[in-house]
Chains A and B, each alone.
Chain A
Amino acid sequence: SAVISQKPSRDICQRGTSLTIQCQVDSQVTMMFWYRQQPGQSLTLIATANQGSEATYESGFVIDKFPISRPNLTFSTLTVSNMSPEDSSIYLCSVRAPGAYEQYFGPGTRLTVT
C-alpha cells in the first residue's frame, strides 16, 4: 500500500480565511480523492482529483469553495475557502492504485474554524 502524508496535521483558522491542505504520496497513483469527516460523522467524498484536468466534484461541493490542484501523480492540494465554523472537520486524502478498488488514506488534517 502507498504511504500518504498530509500537511498540516491540524490547524485553527479564523472565519473568512482560507487553508490549503497538501497530500503527498510516495508512489505515482492515478486516482486521488478528498473526503470530509465532520465531527462524529462518517466520511463524505468531496471530489476526485484528476491529474492534468479539472477535479470532479460530488453533489453539494463546488470548486469555488473547495478548489483542488493535481500538478503531478504524487501530489494534490485541497483549499477550503472563505471558511465558516461549519467547515470544521477532518479532511482526508486517499489514493487508489491502478487496477485496484480499495483506497488508502492519509492521516487527515483536523481543521477548526473559529
Chain B
Amino acid sequence: AQSVTQPDIHITVSEGASLELRCNYSYGATPYLFWYVQSPGQGLQLLLKYFSGDTLVQGIKGFEAEFKRSQSSFNLRKPSVHWSDAAEYFCAVTGGGNKLTFGTGTQLKVEL
C-alpha cells in the first residue's frame, strides 16, 4: 500500500528565509509524487509534480522539490519565503492508478 508521511505539522519561518518541507513516501515501485498547497478556504493547487527524469523539479511560485529514491523523500524547498506563502502544504503519491494518497499536511506560518 502507498503512504505519505509529513513529519512536521507546523512550521514557522520569517519572511525572506529559506524553507524546506519534508515528505517521505512508501511505495513499492516508481512513484508519481506531487506537492499541493491549500490556502484558507480554498481548494488545492498543484505546485509541482515528479514522474521521472531529472530528480530536481521546478514548480510554480518559486518552489522546487528534489526526489531522493534512496531516502524515499520528496522535500519541497523555496529559497526565500513570502508572506503570501502562508498556507497548508500537502505531499501526495500515486502509483499511476486512480488513487492519490495524501500526507497529513504541514501548516506554514510566515512571520513578518
How far is B93's CA from A92's CA once the two chains are assembled, in angstroms? 18
The total of chain B residues at the interface (CB under 8 A) is 21
How far is B59's CA from A55's CA once the two chains are assembled, in angstroms? 33
Asked if A43 and B90 sit within 8 Å, CB to CB, the answer is yes
Q: A42-B90, A43-B90 are in contact. Are A102 and B34 (CB under 8 A)?
A: yes
How far is B100's CA from A96's CA once the two chains are assembled, in angstroms? 11
Q: A42-B102, A42-B104 are in contact. Are A107 and B43 (CB under 8 A)?
A: yes
0/1 string, A102-114, CB within 8 A of B gives 1: 1111111010000
How far is B51's CA from A86's CA once the two chains are assembled, in angstroms? 36
Provide the residues of chain B in CB contact with A104, threshold 8 Å: 46
How far is B34's CA from A102's CA once the two chains are assembled, in angstroms? 8
Residue of B nearest to A4 (CB): B43
A72 lies within 8 A of chain B by Cβ: no
Chain A contact surface mostly: strand
- The residue that A105 contacts in the complex, of B32, B44, B49, B96, with Cβ under 8 A, is B44
How far is B104's CA from A101's CA once the two chains are assembled, in angstroms? 20
Q: Which residues 83-110 of A sit at the B interface, judged by CB distance below 8 A?
A: 92, 94, 96, 101-108, 110
Asked if B98 and A33 sit within 8 Å, CB to CB, the answer is yes
How far is B45's CA from A86's CA once the two chains are assembled, in angstroms? 26
How far is B41's CA from A94's CA once the two chains are assembled, in angstroms? 16
A45 lies within 8 A of chain B by Cβ: yes
How far is B42's CA from A40's CA once the two chains are assembled, in angstroms? 14
Closest A-B pairs by Cβ, 9 of them? A105-B44, A107-B43, A105-B43, A42-B102, A101-B32, A43-B102, A42-B104, A108-B43, A48-B98
15 residue pairs of the A-B complex, CB under 8 angstroms, read A4-B43, A42-B105, A43-B90, A43-B100, A44-B102, A92-B43, A101-B32, A101-B51, A103-B100, A105-B36, A105-B45, A106-B43, A107-B42, A107-B43, A108-B43
